[in-house]
Amino acid sequence: MARLTREESQALTRAKLLANAVRVVAAEGYEGASIDKIAEAAGYSKGAFYSNFASKEELFLELLETHAGQDVVEIARLLDGVSVPAAIIDRFCEWADSRASDPTWGLLALELLRRARREATFGTRHASLFRAQWAGVGQLLLPIAPGLEADKVELLGAMVIELTYGAASGFSDKDGPSVGDLVRLALEAMQAKYAS
């Protein structure tokens, strides 16, 4: 077996740190997910962590950016070959319900952003963290709202993402409305307004 180059070794270390950070934060939350715990879970030292990330906040920003990008890819795959607005809405609602069943990502984003504002580290990267995700989701929703103004596409995507990952996801239970129900109501209202 060929020996890894320095770059390959560092990329492998970085990937292991990121993968283990997801597990640690799911169990401990942002505050409890210390650099020591993340490094230990990945089988590395604290030094290995700092060779790859400047801070815990940088690592979590990267995790959130990656997760947000994966959502757009996943939804696009679910919509492949689907062009009927009612079916698009159905797929979005199913996706939203499946995502809302694990509130880890929404809570992580809220925790990280609240901490960044409190500690005055909130910057451009924080502010634009989900913009590409919102725009991508909004583009995927255009068939249900063909008359939607171009400057509102990102807002449409943001509405669906925030309903899916927002505080409402923590209140969904078998007796109340699901996140998918909320998304359906919003999307059907958008369709009624813009498809006519």
* pLDDT per residue rounded down to tens, the chain (196 residues): 678 788 888 889 999 999 999 889 888 888 888 999 999 999 999 999 999 999 998 998 888 888 888 999 999 999 999 999 999 999 999 999 998 887 777 878 888 888 888 888 888 888 788 899 999 999 999 999 998 999 999 999 999 999 998 866 666 556 778 899 999 999 999 999 987 6
**Residues near 13 by Cβ (< 8 Å), separated by ≥ 6?**
42, 44, 48, 51, 52
Report the alpha-carbon distance of residue 90 to residue 1 in Å, rounded. 48
Which letter does DSSP use for residue 152 in this model? G
Neighbours of 50 (CB within 10 A): 12
Per-residue confidence (pLDDT) for residue 100, from 0 to 100: 84
User: Which two tokens mark 194?
Assistant: 């813009």
Report the alpha-carbon distance of residue 166 to residue 6 in Å, rounded. 40
Per-residue confidence (pLDDT) for residue 167, from 0 to 100: 65
Per-residue confidence (pLDDT) for residue 168, from 0 to 100: 63
Per-residue confidence (pLDDT) for residue 159, from 0 to 100: 94
SS3 call for 195: coil
Neighbours of 68 (CB within 10 A): 21
CA angle, residues 44, 34, 53, in degrees to nearest 5: 60
Whether the CB-CB separation of 93 and 181 falls below 8 Å is answered with yes
Helix (H) or strand (E) holding 53: none
